[in-house]
Amino acid sequence: MYVAELDIPWLDSPFKYQGFVIQHPQHIEEVQRICKQVTIDLERGYDVAGPSNNTVANYVTKPVSYPRDHNLEQELDTARNMYDTTRKYIDSVMKAVANDQDIDIDEARNVVKGIVGSIIRNPDALVCMTQLKARDEYTAQHSINVCILALTLGRHLGMDMYALNMLGTGALLHDIGKLKTPLEVLNKPDRLDEEEFAQMKEHPQQGYDILTKIPGLPHMVTDIALSHHEREGGQGYPNGLSGDQISFWSKLVSIVDVYDAITSDRCYHKGMSPTEALSRLYSWRGTDFATDLIEQFIQCLGIYPIGSLVELSTAEVAIVITNEPDNRLQPKIQIILDDFKNPLFSPRIIDLANQDEDQDMLRIVRTLESGAHGINVAEQLRSLKLGNKMRSEA
């Protein structure tokens, strides 16, 4: 329902925006705590057509600000362990679905709780992990990456802990229906024919059917599996929903789902750079994706997203390894090629926002295409080691 009026002045309420959509139990509890009655707008709920209310402003009514309690070095080992733990869980889910067994949803909640904790402390560490991609492990890695990226965006938007945990669970399991898709269709290197594409389009409904059999699983989680391929203009599947017919959760996950897909190497395409991927997503705003969420996602990942290859003013080449909100144009980088484009024996980590004033100031002059100069970003980040210098600069 869309709450249009309270029985107290809006300025006396904890809600940031005047008018909002009830989207999770905490909204109800908050309204019950401060009001005896409210007035709803019958023309602006989810079940009616009309002006868009399914927006960031109406969903995140009371944004939470999360400080970065850890720097990248402090969080990196935890993030690596968390990623490995999540991968083992996804492997168990794949095995359970293949054998028509029940999946362990309690373990999913525990895994997501750990991911949320790491992202709250410092999202950069787990976002680094999303770059460790292997073509033959796409299905499992994609589920984990979408969870991490969705939670990173949720943190950026100021979602509360309840919302983050629900969002993370839905994002982690969003593609569970693909485990029912024939492998020859899932991994076909050529364009799918009409029959094969029809099979592929069945996976959202199949995922929904799997998850709705789990007692007590919130609708917001199951709906992500069902609706993450719906599109703003109504051209998506399985139900051709559009605009406010698509839940806020599914709109958010659909964006990070496509971002991870187009930045990944697959048997049928080469992944594009993070910068190019964000540019593509921006061009699809309004028609495929919610404009406000696209803009927030770009702000969240920054001008130079983690994993970007960049060329410096010295002609050296580096990988972006952090994304500090206050220093979007001056991230921390790992320099891996010298000015002649030869690999460095010992890569250097530099914080562009905290350079020695008595030295020539390094700056980024341009971003490079994915795989430029034969660089494998995944391999570079897999061996990333941070020393005391990094600690002192963070």
pTM of the model: 0.84
Least confident of 164-173, 289-298, 318-327: 318-327
Mean pLDDT of the chain: 88
Could you give the strand order of the β-sheet that contains 20-21, starting from the edge strand earlier in sequence? Answer: 20-21, 2-6, 38-40
Residue ranges with strand state E in 55-98: none
pLDDT tens, 257-308?
A: 999 999 998 777 788 999 999 999 999 999 999 999 999 999 999 989 999 9
Q: How confident is the model at residue 183 (pLDDT cuts 50, 70, 90)?
A: confident
- What pLDDT is recorded for position 383? 79
More confident residue, 8 or 312: 312
Structure tokens that stand for 361 in this block: 């100031």
CA dihedral 26, 28, 29, 35 (to 10 degrees): 140
The pLDDT value recorded for residue 258 is 98
Q: Where are the beta strands (DSSP E) in the chain?
A: 2-6, 20-21, 38-40, 309-312, 317-320, 332-337, 343-351, 364-367
Structural domains in the chain, sorted by start: 2-59 (no CATH), 72-301 (1.10.3210.10), 309-393 (no CATH)
Q: What DSSP line would sit under 358-388, residue for residue?
A: TSPPP-EEEE--TTGGG--HHHHHHT----H
pLDDT tens-digit readout, 110-140: 999 999 999 999 999 999 999 988 766 888 9
Q: Tell me the two tokens of residue 249.
A: 């959760």
User: Around Cβ 259, how many Cβ atoms within 10 Å?
Assistant: 24
Residue with tokens 């592929």: 200
Cβ contact 377:319 at 8 Å? yes
Where does the pLDDT of residue 389 fall: very low under 50, low under 70, confident under 90, or very high at 90 and above?
Answer: very low
Count of residues making up the chain: 394
Reported as a single tens digit per residue, the pLDDT across 19-28 is 777 766 667 8
* Per-residue pLDDT tens over the stretch 214-259: 988 888 899 999 999 999 999 999 999 999 899 999 999 999 999 9
